[in-house]
Amino acid sequence: MKSVRQSAVIRIRIITGLVLFLSLILIGRLYQIQIVQHDLFYNRAQQQYVYTVQDLYTRGDIYFSTKSDEQVSAATILRGYLLSIDPSRIEDVEGTYAALNSVYPLDQDLFLLRVGKKERTYYEIAQELSEDEADAIAALGLTGVQLYRDQWRYYPGDDLAARSIGFVGRTENSNTLTGRYGLERYYEEVLSREDSRMSINLFAEIFTNLGSIIFDNTESRTGDIVTTIEPTVARMLDRELQKTQEEWGSAFTGGIIINPKTGAIYAMNVVPTFDLNHRTGATIEDFKNPLVEDVYEMGSIIKPLTVAAGLDSGAIVPESVYDDPGCVELNEFTFCNYDGRSRGVVPMQEILNQSLNTGVAFIVDTMGKNKFREYFKALKLGSETGIDLPNETYGLVANLDSPRDIEYATASFGQGIALTPIATVRALSTLGNGGKLVTPHIVKRIEYQDGSSKDVLFPEGDQVFTEDTSTTISRMLTTVVDDALRNGKVKLDNYSIAAKTGTAQIADRENGGYYEDKFLHSFFGYFPSYDPEFLVFLYTVEPKQVRYASETLTDPFMEITKFLINYYNVPPDR
């Protein structure tokens, strides 16, 4: 028994001795590294990728959705490196610049200016370096040059749906990065994250994050957003808008593609646009979204709404006729058809086929201005649509409260009231979807950090027109395409399309009245006519050397229509 105890004591002493011996070796090695070889290892540390602690920017992702509901990145976080210098430690200025410039192009004058300030120990000289660039710079072993891990917001589509996606930027009163425009701003509370800190100290990293390993501190309200924007459709729309813009030299050109039954927006943009990743030179005006922030007198695309109101109220039927005088005087003001010509006795269909101002004014007079006002107020033309984008503005429809008959007559053909494109699209959707208002929207789902997700739902809109009225006006607008638009040359034999053009004079804000040579052209259409899956709205502002929208927008509308039919394999309906 005694020998067993003695043996155990000996083993314990041996183990204790080994531990002490190894401890002495480690202490000696630490002394050598930290004291004797301090300068050597300090210089090596200066050249490490993660030289010091830094807050890393992070944020939720934004996704486009393909037609098969696959997610495509619209906004994400890229990881790379930030390059800085310590001017106080750089002796070979020219050599350092030449070496860095061979890997990553730098402004020589700016580099020399900064490296000349020897009292400074830190200057950032380049951001968003890739892994390969960082590897190449690290391999140079330059004194006074550091690389930091970095993260930044990146938009893979560059300018795709730029005005809708928006971007992040620093606020005026702080250095905080937040959503400034588009979805980035509207869904700031969902997308924002707290910055994560990277530490070079292994033990500090372990113990600092121990709590988050044991306890789930994730905020359930933060996550990623999935949009209804279809990237292929959005890119196609941008191409058609750009072609139109260049062909007619317009001030700008915009468009929206929406599902008129659900309000889901597949594409919307205005050109000229800008690159979300390279915004240098762009102005605040470039970042605005005119589709929701600006109002316009839309012209004759409003006429189908007037005809629908007349049908729905019982004031007219498709077989009704009126005697077209060519021009009408009301309250000492005179308005005319586009050519000022009288056409005699005209059926209702010709009001749309020939876009007759006197015809829709006749409908208003027949139904009464109060009833007309009720329908246009029910369409909420002066209200926000509720679209999930910031800065949506109200339409200017005060003329609908005027006692003067002239205001209602001009409103019936889209002059004297100014609407946002998105409010116009919502109202026009009622013509094809059975008469209901929808809520235009871009986001369909939120995917939270905790793994759960939520479909974004919108309330069912008011019933403005009956289903019978929707069917009737759709039939009349289909006849416009089949018979009147380019004399029927653009109709599709196997597909019904309901459409209408609009040409509006632009108001002269300084002198009053309207310019004689400045126009806004608009075009809308939906298809298939009696169960539409798509509504396309286009407009172009101040096209040069052309008067009518049928000349500028018919071709792009038909190109977009054919693309959508083929891309979505829409079955023929006739």
Residues 500-550: tens digit of each pLDDT: 999 998 888 878 788 888 999 999 999 999 999 999 999 999 999 898 999
Taking only the tens place, the pLDDT of each residue in 149-171 is: 988 899 999 999 999 999 998 87
Residue 385, Cβ density class (10 Å: 0-12 exposed, 13-18 middle, ≥19 buried): buried
In this structure, what token pair is assigned to residue 166?
């928006």
**225 falls within a domain:** no
Residues 204 and 272 in one domain: no
154 touches 167 (CB < 8 A): no
- Beta strands 62-65 and 223-227 are parallel
Residues 205 and 137 in one domain: yes
In this structure, what token pair is assigned to residue 43?
């210089």
Residue 109 Cα distances to 88, 93, 116, 118, angstroms: 18, 12, 11, 16
What is the pLDDT at residue 207?
40
267 touches 161 (CB < 8 A): yes
Taking only the tens place, the pLDDT of each residue in 18-28 is: 877 777 877 77
**251 falls within a domain:** yes
What average pLDDT does the segment 162-182 reach? 85
In this structure, what token pair is assigned to residue 204?
């500090």
CATH number at residue 404: 3.40.710.10
Residues 402 and 467 in one domain: yes
**H-run or E-run covering 566:** helix 554-567
CATH number at residue 106: 3.90.1310.10
**226 falls within a domain:** no
Residues 526 and 403 in one domain: yes
Mean pLDDT of the chain: 88
In the chain, the largest separation of any two C-alpha atoms, in whole Å, equals 131
421 touches 502 (CB < 8 A): no
**416 falls within a domain:** yes
Residues 201 and 350 in one domain: no
Residues 213 and 320 in one domain: no
Distance, in Å, from the CA atom of 170 to the CA atom of 82, rounded to the nearest integer, reads: 18
**Torsion sign across C-alpha atoms 542, 336, 424, 406:** positive
**256 falls within a domain:** yes
- Domain count for the chain, please give it: 2
**38 falls within a domain:** no
Residue 215 Cα distances to 60, 78, 179, 191, 384, angstroms: 21, 27, 29, 22, 43
Distance, in Å, from the CA atom of 165 to the CA atom of 179, rounded to the nearest integer, reads: 10
Nearest Cα to Cα of residue 526 among 465, 464, 573 = 573
437 touches 258 (CB < 8 A): no
Q: Which residue spans within 234-289 are E strands per DSSP?
A: 252-258, 265-271
Residues 91 and 144 in one domain: yes
Residue 112 has pLDDT above 50, yes or no: yes
Q: Which of 7-11, 88-92, 149-153, 304-308 is predicted with the least confidence, judged by mean pLDDT?
A: 7-11
What is the pLDDT at residue 24?
80
What average pLDDT does the segment 349-373 reach? 96
Helix segments in 396-529, DSSP class H = 405-412, 421-432, 467-479
The one-letter amino acid at 339: D
Helix, strand, or coil (residue 275): strand
Residue 286 Cα distances to 163, 166, 252, 276, 441, angstroms: 8, 11, 11, 11, 22
**482 falls within a domain:** yes
Taking only the tens place, the pLDDT of each residue in 58-80 is: 899 999 999 999 999 999 999 98
Residues 211 and 235 in one domain: no
Nearest Cα to Cα of residue 306 among 483, 434, 431 = 431
Taking only the tens place, the pLDDT of each residue in 433-476 is: 999 999 999 999 999 988 899 999 988 889 999 999 999 999 99
In this structure, what token pair is assigned to residue 34?
């930290």
Residues 85 and 209 in one domain: yes
What is the pLDDT at residue 9?
67
Distance, in Å, from the CA atom of 480 to the CA atom of 487, rounded to the nearest integer, reads: 9
Q: Which residue has the higher pLDDT, 527 or 44?
A: 527
In this structure, what token pair is assigned to residue 556?
């792009």
Residue 175 Cα distances to 55, 132, 150, 169, 305, angstroms: 13, 29, 16, 9, 49
293 touches 489 (CB < 8 A): no
> What is the Cβ-side half-sphere exposure of residue 307, based on CA atoms within 13 angstroms?
33
Per the structure, the complete domain to which residue 459 belongs is given by 231-567
**42 falls within a domain:** no
Residues 335 and 193 in one domain: no
What average pLDDT does the segment 559-572 reach? 97
Residue 48 has pLDDT above 60, yes or no: no
Residues 235 and 133 in one domain: no
Residues 307 and 358 in one domain: yes
